[in-house]
Amino acid sequence: MNRQHFNQIRQAPAGKNAKDRVYVGLAASFHDPAIALVTPDGRPVFAESTERALQSKRAFNCPPDDLVRAPRLLQDYFPNTTEIVVGVSWSNEFLSGLNAGLLAQLAPPSGARDDWKGKLEWPLPHPLGLSTGLRNSVSLAGLNIWASNRVEGKVSIRRFDHHLTHAANAACTSPFTESAVAVVDGYGEGDSVAFFHYEGGRLAKLDTQSRQMGDGASEADSLGMFYARICVLCGFDPLAGEEWKVMGLAAYGQPDKYLCDLLRPMLRVNGMHLERGCYPDALRLNLDRVHRFAREAGDDPLARADLAASGQHVFEEKLAELLGNLYARCPSENLAFAGGCALNSSFNGKLSQVTPFSQLHVPCAPADDGNALGAAFVACMDDGVAIAADKERADPYLGSTIEPSALERLVRFGGISRLTHAPSGTIARTASLLAAGKIVAWVQGRAEFGPRALGNRSILADPRPPDMQDRINRLVKFRERFRPFAPSILDEAGPDYFEDYRSTRYMERTLRFRPDARHRVPGVVHVDGTGRLQSVRQEWNPRFHALLTEFRVLTGIPILLNTSLNVMGKPIVHSLEDCLGVFLTTGIDALVVEDVLMEK
């Protein structure tokens, strides 16, 4: 998208062949690549992260449009199309800068990784590796589709500003006809934040003016990188996506004034920008002091709970200030929020209390994988398609299904003695297993798009036993004991269990349990009395809603413990073989795939 129509997406005529034009969106960062397919009128029909099919966490440096798989997807979903528009989540201007080697100047001299700059930039790879990997990902995106002799019709490739694709993903999947839109992540094209106004199915970028320099501010910084540094200090790896661990660990500690005072100057909010808050010498001194609190190999993570709590506290302070400034510039009741920082469910649960916004929408995939949908939406808008609120665009169940033929072969050849195929009794039998304390893998329909299992690729359990969280962490997920699990709750029962209840479709926010409800479901109450919940309605997921309803009939409890069907370090399962691998090598008691139920 050129600069002339970046500030206001042009309303060009769709053209005489618009009804035959389909859209492919590609999230083309070097991490978390993804592909999305969207109809001529802007409705998603498929979206999936590359890591799922590859079963490689975050799928670093992998193409989103695999030369074999992408043409097959197009044949499956758009078999007779005459024109394909491929939208890519980074712009031509950015690609030109990468090709010109503009980022090479950031590469430190050999051996300088241990100085203050090395510590500050640790969460990212060496700049030379980062810029080369990103250049390769962006430049190759779309070429596999364009070059394939199995793709019919005309193929064109368009590249769009990275933050614009984030914004489109947030705004176009929201229930709002009008909203402010915030993008806050690790890095983008020249900045780590961007803001827009969405109305009438269109996006307009807000002019935030230039940063004011000369008053102690230095170069731009980001909340995403700030949180990644906290992740490192706590002994976790942000490249592996372990920021989740910081949020879980923070609940076990308290913000420490000394640590907060060291962390705050590292980042400053300047209007609607983020900057490094002090000069290099002061920053180096603060970093040296903070690093004395870093967790060393072999230490108990819980010993750094106050560090995690301090980092979370400062993160929330800065983000609340930034969004408050956005509201002053774009006063709306509604906020659509995307970028990696929108995954911070702890902050999201407090957003209406610490900012002027009263309504929040975070898409099911707010980080870079979601830009596959965003790039397709921007391409639609670029052709004059106004994308207004539509419940189909909010549906997270856009991924692959389990191959029926694989399931048939399992029933025929698997030799599993305790296997039943009873479509009319599967839900009742599963609910009875859960009520009896069994751990169940539940695989139904299409996979969820995004990082969270929302009842189609889930591990489920009874939330009543106090030791259930420890059992699953120890016997199934093989992860740290401080990691919590989500409560999936019937939406109509939400106010009975949570204070200031808000429907939370994608586990996008953490809410506080009512004190009188915590003892009923201790398996899903975090140490600080909160839960990152999933609200379930019949129209959103009929089968999962039916299972929760049956469980409530048996137990009186409208909640199930829900966590993703994987083990630590692996993506959520993709194929039937992946499901069986997790089932047979963990402490899961039963596996339900569609109407086939297997028990150990």
Residue pair 14/22 in contact by the 8 Å Cβ criterion: no
Q: pLDDT of the chain along its 600 residues, tens only?
A: 333 333 333 333 344 456 789 999 999 999 999 999 999 999 999 999 999 999 999 999 999 999 999 999 999 999 989 999 999 999 999 999 888 874 455 545 455 544 445 555 566 677 777 888 899 999 999 999 999 999 989 999 999 999 999 999 999 999 999 999 999 999 999 899 999 999 999 999 998 754 443 344 345 689 999 999 999 999 999 999 999 999 999 999 999 999 999 999 989 999 999 998 877 677 778 878 888 999 988 899 999 999 999 999 999 999 999 999 999 999 999 999 999 999 999 999 999 999 999 999 999 999 999 999 999 999 999 999 988 878 788 999 999 999 999 999 999 998 888 999 988 999 999 999 999 999 999 999 999 999 999 999 999 999 999 999 999 999 999 999 899 999 999 999 999 999 999 999 999 999 999 999 999 999 999 999 999 999 999 999 999 999 999 999 999 999 999 999 999 999 999 999 999 999 999 999 999 999 999 999
Strands 559-564 and 359-361: unpaired
Placement of tokens 């003695």 in the chain: 417
3-state secondary structure of 514: coil
- In terms of C-beta density within 10 A (0-12 exposed, 13-18 middle, 19 or more buried), how is residue 146 classed? middle
Residue 144, both tokens: 């596999």
Instruction: For 85-127, give the DSSP string.
Output: EEEESS-HHHHHHHHTTGGGGGPPPTT-TTSHHHHHHTTSPPH
If one counts every other C-beta atom within 10 angstroms of the C-beta of residue 122, the result is 16
If one counts every other C-beta atom within 10 angstroms of the C-beta of residue 130, the result is 18
Residue pair 570/57 in contact by the 8 Å Cβ criterion: yes
| Domains of the chain, start order | 3-175+363-394 (3.30.420), 223-361 (3.30.420.40), 404-599 (3.90.870.20)
Residues 6+ apart with CB under 8 A from 269: 318, 321, 322, 325
Cross-strand bridge partners of residue 599? 590
Residue 255, both tokens: 């913000």
Residues 6+ apart with CB under 8 A from 271: 208, 209, 211, 212, 325
If one counts every other C-beta atom within 10 angstroms of the C-beta of residue 583, the result is 24
pTM, entire model:
0.93
d(CA 198, CA 202): 6
Placement of tokens 């923070």 in the chain: 250
